[in-house]
Amino acid sequence: MDLGLEGLRAVVTGGTSGIGLATAKLLLAEGCNVALCGRDAARLEEAAGPLRAAYGDRVLAERCDVLDKAQVEAFHDAVVARFGGADILVNNAGQGRLSTFADTADEAWGDEFRLKFFSVIHPTRAFLPTLEKSASAAVVVVNSLLARQPEPHMVATSALRAGVQNLAKSMSVEFAPKRVRVNAILLGIVDSGQWQRRYEAQAKGGETKEQWMAKLAKEKGILIGRLGRPEEAAAAIAFLASPAASFITGASLEVAGGVSRFA
Ligand code: NDP
């Protein structure tokens, strides 16, 4: 199936690692121009260098902290200057916070609120006027299954993920008359940098990554029996962002290997 992405202009926040990088690569391979951002200059260059070598000026990489409104506006301006606008915004930047209710201080709740909400609000606000001009505009919010199935060791992240689902739904309703679609993916465990680090720290006596992942998958109730791959999350993002999903808005797609903690 042709997703119809050829020639579209995509923005991927947090595109220097894991799911964001896999998404940038897939969108480039599908013929999009892609702008990606991250905070760390070295990581940005490490990710963007090979992409530029392969795709030249179709790649724009900018340092930008999505929590800094001025930096997001500057990123937007750079995208418009290079590509003339944007058709796709993937709100991917972020990370989870491991903490129970007992050990989440008020300040940490505030930090997590800022990260989860403003990583969506700042880029969406900055790019919405240019998305509205596109004939094929889509926002994809990268969210977590924790929004529906909270885990007590990630209490703040879980609660705020639920709020982000609610926000995405409201945006889909408000933006529909402007012909900007908004959808979310709800991720289970995807094997990105953080899980590689946990494997290295936790694996015992010659345990391979596959063996460790199978054990973890069993503990977590992942029916498919392994962690997800960044490319699998990227495929769902690319579909929802593409004209192939032109009748889909306000939806959320679980990319979680069938996890069902409360079934
Ligand atoms: P990675 O840590 O591999 O990648 C995160 C990316 O976001 C990096 O490029 C990082 O670059 C960037 N980033 C983080 N904070 C900011 C910021 N404030 N401004 C701009 N860029 C930022 O994570 P994943 O690929 O695993 O995760 C991608 C998204 O999916 C995240 O939002 C994560 O919370 C979510 N998710 C992931 C799950 C998983 O199992 N992997 C499960 C559920 C949700 P830099 O640090 O240089 O800024």
Return the pLDDT at 263.
Answer: 59
Enumerate residues lining ligand 1, CB below 6 A: 13-14, 16-20, 37-40, 43, 64-67, 92-96, 142, 144, 187, 189-190, 192-194
Residue nearest to atom 34 of ligand 1 (CA): 95
pTM recorded for the entire structure = 0.97
Return the pLDDT at 194.
Answer: 77
Return the pLDDT at 34.
Answer: 99
Cα-to-centroid distance, 5 and ligand 1 (Å): 24
* Cα distance between residue 139 and residue 228, in whole Å: 22
Please say whether the beta carbons of 92 and 12 come within 8 A. yes
Structure tokens at 152: 């007590």
Q: Which of 175, 163, 186, 113 is nearest to 139 (CA)?
A: 175
Burial bucket for residue 113 (CB in 10 Å: 0-12, 13-18, 19+):
middle
Please say whether the beta carbons of 47 and 55 come within 8 A. no
Once rounded to an integer, what is the mean pLDDT over residues 125-147? 98
Is residue 237 predicted with pLDDT exceeding 90? yes
Of 39, 186, 231, the residue with max ligand 1 atoms within 8 A of its CB, to mutate for a pocket test, comes to: 39
Give whole-number Cα distances, 95 to 92, 192, 201, in Å.
9, 11, 19
pLDDT digits (tens, 9 = 90+) for 124-135: 999 999 999 999
Once rounded to an integer, what is the mean pLDDT over residues 42-69? 98
Return the pLDDT at 149.
Answer: 95
Least confident of 23-27, 167-171, 257-261: 257-261
